[in-house]
């Protein structure tokens, strides 16, 4: 499932833009990091390097300057680094189930508004 569909599913469940923007900015963050940090590209998996081509490749200078004005710029970069770290087969990450209560609680509060 691509980022566009994931974002749509999350929005349909009631998650606001503040949450779904991480999904929307996922590819932009990758393109930005590849543009500004050569070591980041070296650390990408072969699959991720391959999809980069279809995602627009590295950002132009104009795109990078524009992306830096995004209010969620720093958060998008952190999320991208976390995503890359989670691809490490040795990484210790919580199970998706561990976030269920947090998400349900958030959605209950959001629907009260």
Domain range spanning residue 60?
Answer: 3-112
- Note if the pTM is more than 0.85: no
The tens-digit pLDDT sequence of the chain (113 residues) is 566 677 777 888 888 877 888 888 999 999 999 999 989 999 998 888 999 999 999 999 999 999 999 999 999 999 999 888 877 888 888 888 888 888 888 888 877 76
In this structure, what CATH number is given to the domain that contains residue 60? 1.10.3210.10
CA separation, residue 33 to residues 10, 17, 21, 41, 81 (Å): 25, 23, 17, 8, 10
Q: How many separate domains does the chain show?
A: 1
pLDDT for position 1: 57
């Amino acid at each position: 499932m691509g980022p566009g569909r994931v974002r749509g599913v999350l929005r349909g469940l009631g998650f606001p833009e503040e949450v779904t923007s991480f999904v929307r900015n996922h590819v932009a963050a990758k393109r930005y990091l590849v543009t500004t940090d050569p070591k980041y590209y070296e650390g990408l998996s072969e699959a991720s390097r391959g999809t980069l081509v279809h995602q627009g490749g590295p950002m132009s200078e104009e795109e990078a300057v524009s992306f830096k004005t995004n209010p969620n710029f720093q958060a998008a970069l952190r999320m991208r680094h976390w995503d890359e770290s989670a691809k490490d087969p040795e990484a210790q990450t919580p199970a998706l189930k561990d976030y269920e209560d947090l998400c349900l609680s958030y959605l209950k509060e959001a629907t009260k508004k």
